[in-house]
Amino acid sequence: MKLIHDMLAGDVLSLARLITKVERGDGVPQIMKLIYPYVGRAYCIGITGPPGAGKSTVVDCLTKVIRKQGFTVGIIAADPTSPFTGGAVLGDRIRMQQHYLDKGVFIRSMATRGSEGGLPQSTSGVIKLLNASGKDFVLVETVGVGQTELDIMRSADTTVVVLVPEAGDTIQTMKAGLFEIADIFAVNKADRPGADNLVNDLRNMLHLHTGQTYWEAPVLTTQAIHDVGIDELFMQIEKHRQTMEDTGELSKRRQEQRRREFLETVEHRISAELLQLVERDKEMGRYMKMVELGEIDPYSAADEILRSGVVTASWSQQLAGRMPS
């Protein structure tokens, strides 16, 4: 595919067009197969946290620190979906204007399009494209939806949870989800009242939390709008990366990500083929109608279909049709 060849040669327009294809679901399996040999170089950092925490400003300042060290950066900024166009509301791009003319930075805003996990469903594929294009770091900023932002954990090597002093009252309710996600906590807008209390609360909870044994998430203070604390944040990201490499956790984390992606891909393919089977098979269609009318419960219908062998027979025929003669 010419677009992939040109992207690998450094063409930014080809990268942008490939991302658009992935977002639309156009030829994704073929694209992923072709770029797979070139994936694995980039280090992915997830930036998550509630709305208004200053995530975009943190990403902006973090990008500046990374670029000063000579590394290239790809940024995926998940934005709310526009109710008018269905595209991204480009708030994050506006806040990252200083990087527009930097050829070492690629910024892409992506609409969530109804995704409940804080990230668009196509994010994993876009991360791979930025990875294959030669970026040293990929920064992924979630839209900021609170407790449901577990998607970032499935994509990032290091996840930074950004909070603000005003979040102190909600820590108890968010605690379980936060500690599952966070490798590093950053209390942003730390010049506001209550910042010290939030830092102390987080550190006390971390001491009680029995999670990762190889790493205790540090709690940092930042004032991203004043560019304060960002160098230390990047140092902690690099420290976490080194620790994971030394303990083998980075390899395990990426293995788990590949395993999950494989299972989700298989599940998606099976679901798509099952829907096609329902449309063309009379017996499956009959059971579907009975379920819709409430004449039989879904579990009993599924048991009867699986016992009848309709599904397995259909898939066996499809498999035989695909085998080379």
What local confidence, expressed as pLDDT, does residue 218 receive? 93
Band of residue 148 on the pLDDT scale cut at 50, 70, 90: very low
Instruction: Domain ranges for the chain, please list them.
Output: 2-247, 257-322
Q: In Å, what is the CA distance from 21 to each residue of 4, 14, 223, 268, 280?
A: 12, 11, 37, 18, 30
Rounded distance between C-alpha atoms, residue 265 and residue 283, angstroms: 27
- Identify which of 144-158, 281-295, 303-317 has the greatest average pLDDT: 281-295
CATH code of 2-247, in short, is 3.40.50.300
CA distance 75 to 108: 6
Is the alpha carbon torsion for 7, 8, 11, 12 positive or negative? positive
Residue with token string 């970026």: 135
Mean local confidence (pLDDT), 34-41:
92
* pLDDT, tens digit (0-9, with 9 covering 90-100), for 256-296: 989 988 998 888 888 887 888 777 888 888 888 999 999 99
Average pLDDT, the chain: 82
Q: Given this model, what pLDDT does residue 246 score?
A: 96
What band does 104 get if pLDDT is binned at 50, 70 and 90? very high
Give the residue ranges of DSSP H helices in the chain: 2-8, 12-24, 28-35, 55-68, 91-94, 123-132, 171-181, 195-208, 230-247, 249-280, 282-292, 298-308, 310-322
What residue has token string 């579907």? Answer: 288
Average pLDDT estimate for 143-159:
71
Q: What global pTM score does this model have?
A: 0.82
Mean pLDDT is highest, among 124-128, 238-242, 307-311, for 238-242
Residue pLDDT, tens place only, 242-255: 999 999 999 999 99
Average pLDDT over residues 92-110: 74
Three-state DSSP class for 87? coil
